[in-house]
Amino acid sequence: MHGHWSSRAAFILAVTGSAVGLGNIWKFPYITGENGGGAFVLLYLGCVFAVGMPILVSEVLLGRRGRRNPIATMAILGQEEGGSRHWRLVGTMGVIAGLLILSFYSVIAGWSLAYALKSAVGSFAGTDARSAAFEFFTFTGNWKALLAWHAVFMAMTVFVVAAGVQHGLERAVRVLMPLLVVMLLVLVAYSARYGAFEETLVYLFKPDFSELSGESMLIALGHCFFTLSIGMGVVMAYGAYLPEGTSIAASSLTVVLADTVIALLAGMAVFPLVFGNGLNPAEGPGLVFETLPIAFGQLPAGSVFGTVFFLLLTFAAWTSAIGLLEPAVAWIVERHQRSRVVGAVVVGGLTWLMGLATVLSFNVLSDLRFGRGTLFQNIDFLASNILLPASALLITVFAGWIMCRNSSSEELAMGSGLLYKGWRLLSRVVAPLAILVIAFRAVGVI
């Protein structure tokens, strides 16, 4: 039998740990920059609360009811509630999306690890825009180095997952999460003191809707799933280890609030340094790597704060990567009766190999462009903007329409009051409609 969390707080910390990651600190700032700022932030917040939150509740609910790895959970619940085991494909799709994401996630987390070290040894001292861009270019141009850092990060992830739910996952988040919050607050204070803070507030919170396209809406929606870790069986797997009698709705709300606040704080740590130094917010995936070293290179005690920043990014990524690996490992352990160590090593090894595609996208294969751009951009788009919305849609349809009312209200333990009705309305109507409308708009049907 699998493990379980020692308490409700441990569960909330673990889900928050999986939610808060590169998505908040690396991706949110750069996609906000690429999509014009305030209006995109508003859209993202709308998606998070109206679509992401009810689906998060649904996913935890399914996980706790099924009490297995996501594939088995969907098979069993599909059989019980919907008369078909084919629902397991939803679980399978989620697990695959999760591994695809992990394959590039670990590469970027590897950059972060390398940058923490670079900063600590003082390589950013006196860096200007040209030398920072050059440094990033030479670093990402060296595929062997990227592959090695990717290996280090994957090994850290495998190590924790192999150690088990309470000894590995729980212990890691208990130490790392509080550390992360403290580091982030210190950085925001630092940016407020030395950067263009007012300009940042206007940029993030004053919407200009002329900047928004149908494509931006799809990006905001995809990011809402990415950042809340939904649609890939991660919270379903975590929900399976949740003790009876814990309020799913209250835990989910806590997670959503924490994730959102941390993303906004990350924006407030990154953009003041970007604007204060006249850098370009629409820089793309290199944003924090190409711009922040310049700021850290020029400000007082910059190498200390630079190290803190990249360590923060690495820790945040670590607690998320653990979540991405868990569903597939749980599946191997339960289905194939292998130990967690074997499961973690095998899945981690295969995903590491898949990461080669991302590694090469920045150097050897950087000229290979199709669809969304490089190989990495296509993998990200496929996983985050197609697979995640699709499996999130199926999850919410299952919880809202297929599962019988008694099962969901019993599991949510909210009675049949207003809160329960609110969740049902959001998960049956609002969330599916929003996903469909945004998807159709993005492909140009509406």
Instruction: Return the number of the residue (195 or 343) whose C-beta is nearest ligand PHE.
Output: 343
227 binds ligand PHE (CB under 6 A): yes
> By CB under 6 A, which span of 18-26, 74-82, 270-278, 298-306 interacts with ligand PHE?
18-26
- One-letter amino acid of 166: Q
> SS3 of 320, please?
helix
Cα–Cα distances (Å) from 198 to 185, 194, 205, 302, 445, in that order, read 17, 12, 11, 21, 40
Using rule CB under 6 A, residue 19 touches ligand PHE: yes
Neighbours of 121 (CB within 10 A): 10
Q: Decide if residue 329 touches ligand PHE (CB under 6 A).
A: no
Residue among 11, 13, 16, 18 that touches ligand PHE (CB under 6 A):
18
Closest CB 290 distance from ligand PHE, rounded Å:
20
Range 349-355 contact pairs with CB under 8 angstroms and sequence separation of 24 or more: 350/99, 351/99, 351/102, 351/103, 351/106, 351/154, 351/325, 352/103, 352/106, 352/150, 352/151, 352/154, 354/99, 354/100, 354/103, 355/103, 355/104, 355/106, 355/107, 355/147, 355/150, 355/154
Q: What are phi and psi of 76, to 5 degrees?
A: -65, -50
Helices and strands per DSSP (H, E), number in the chain: 22, 0
Pattern 231-250, binding to ligand PHE, x per CB under 6 A?
-x-x----------------
Nearer to ligand PHE, 21 or 348 (CB): 21
Rounded least distance, CB 327 to ligand PHE, Å: 9
CB of 21 to ligand PHE, least distance (A): 3
- Contact call for residue 160 and ligand PHE (CB under 6 A): no
Work out the number of other CB atoms within 10 angstroms of the CB of residue 215: 13
By beta-carbon proximity to ligand PHE, the closer residue of 231 and 297 is: 231
Our CB check for ligand PHE shows the closer of 233 and 272 to be 233
Q: Stretches 16-24, 274-282, 361-369, 414-422: which one binds ligand PHE (CB under 6 A)?
A: 16-24
Q: Print the binding letters for residues 95-134 with ligand PHE: x by CB under 6 A, - otherwise.
A: ------x---------------------------------
Q: Which residue is nearest to ligand PHE (CB)?
A: 23
Distance in angstroms (rounded) separating the CA atoms of residues 25 and 264: 9
Enumerate binding residues for ligand PHE (CB under 6 A): 18-19, 21-24, 101, 226-227, 229, 232, 234, 320, 323-324
